[in-house]
Chains A and B, each alone.
Chain A
């Protein structure tokens, strides 16, 4: 990083209304090294949803920000994130992806830890000094900063970070709209899509909130919707993009596809019409007409800096992604849904999800292809140095097809990388 400190990472020209991003940001291993420290080392990172730990003893093993994390609920219902490494000699204590446990045992020398991470016993205990077990360094290390907002759990590796609430800031308005579609809270549907893209992780941030690429990249998805029997309404694809501060951004828009909460399409027939009507009526009773209609009819692609996407579109997806190298990322995607929704609604939600989303959908594979081709195009970045994300910069209210959202991300990214960010 230091060698390149004189080269700007982004170029903003407020007179000419242009916004350029250096392609070096996507290919330089020194940039990635700095990101591990300045982005993943001190931002709030999504670790999991409360519904994934339903019962005491439930646990998930997750890789978050390059760390191996054990996300678990103890007997008293306390949720913790612990570093999944034995305090003794370092082996990963948990080797299962998920499950229910009474305790965790390191298989190397047999140390046993409680669900709270505390050392319970170790073979040959008599050879250790008195009080050894009570020394905090003998137990699993707990991630000190873990906070939740509406059952979304985040961790932060910077002990001095601002609170999650402050960090989320204006993004909470949109998280609330998304969570308020459920009467009894959201839950993660069983089954996770785990894939990878041979591209820099920041390309997926851009792509996930990009309303500009749909017409060309996803032409075949639009063709599919048109050929369905009643898969579309006459609603036009239109909306705005918004910089939410702290690097968070959103596009909010109307769209012609069906939404399980709650925009009916003819394909769902009379049963569906009745179901959707009831969902709408209950939304209205809880939130009033105006807010209910915003929840039901508007789509939201929400980006929480740096690497969480919650897309409330034809289905509801939660997605995180982390760099493996400057040109590789790993992606995790889940489907979220209102707890206790009807079997009908759940079925159509998941059917909707798969037609667009995920590595086997009709759209995501083409996004993956686009991102990988960008990464390959950056082979030329010494000669062709800048990406342009100026679209809509001179608009008072940027449209969803403008690039205000990406600019929000890059401004925050730049501020953190150059050590110039204020507040959060």
Chain B
């Protein structure tokens, strides 16, 4: 399948292509190439991590989340994390983002709903913590490329009792 035919309108994106995209995203995050990672998002994108006692489709307008970024605030999060004064991530922790069990949950014209399992390890100051659960993406195609319009992280943990904080991007 060549680049021209990866049109979502024609429902021609394969799971392998989606997986490649998600692996690339994980690689950028692990390498702390966050400004490049940010380019994977559309201008109207959202990035959300609900608290763990909420229904999966809860709205951040009415419920308390851990993170509910619009595109502007996501950009500011990236800027912040690249500064020395982001103390929680200085020096940057080591992370490993692993995605698996990728499934295509729905298609619409120009849009693809993806769900996958994830495990992310974070090591800092000799301690390693584990984040895991489901990632839900809404992907769109812009200029022949897949882009993220919505990324929602559904944690399978009971709060963040083990991890303490969410200073990395999941």
A351 to B165: give the CA distance in the assembly, Å. Answer: 18
Contact indicator B66/A360 (Cβ below 8 Å):
yes
Contact A350 B167 (CB under 8 A): no
Q: Are A366 and B87 in contact (CB under 8 A)?
A: yes
Interface size class of B (residues with CB under 8 A): 35 or more
**Contact A195–B165 (Cβ < 8 Å):** yes
Q: How many A-B residue pairs have CB under 8 A?
A: 125
Classify the secondary structure of B's interface with A: loop
- For residue A30, give the distance in angstroms from its CB to the closest CB of chain B: 26
CB of B121 within 8 Å of the partner chain: no
B16 within 8 A of A: no
Asked if A198 is at the interface (CB within 8 A of a chain B CB), the reply is yes
A275 contacts B by Cβ under 8 Å:
no
Find out whether the CB atom of B166 lies under 8 angstroms from the CB atom of A359: yes
Interface size class of A (residues with CB under 8 A): 35 or more
A193 contacts B80, CB within 8 Å?
no
B86 an interface residue at 8 Å Cβ cutoff?
yes
Residues from chain A with a CB closer than 8 A to the CB of B67 are: 354, 360
Of A195, A355, A370, A372, most B-chain CB atoms within 10 Å: A195
B85 touches A220 (CB 8 A): yes
Given contacts A193-B66, A195-B159, A359-B66, contact A370 B87 (CB under 8 A): yes
A interface, CB within 8 angstroms of B: 97-98, 189-198, 217, 219-220, 223-224, 227-228, 330, 334-335, 343, 346-347, 350-351, 353-355, 358-360, 362, 364-366, 368-370, 372
Interface residues in chain B, defined as those with a beta carbon under 8 Å from any beta carbon in chain A? 49-54, 58, 60-68, 72-73, 76-77, 79-80, 83, 85-89, 125, 127, 158-167
11 contacts between A and B (CB under 8 A): A193-B160, A194-B51, A194-B161, A196-B161, A198-B127, A219-B85, A350-B62, A360-B66, A362-B77, A365-B88, A365-B167
Given contacts A362-B80, A365-B87, A369-B167, 4 further A-B contacts (CB under 8 A): A190-B62, A190-B63, A220-B83, A227-B76
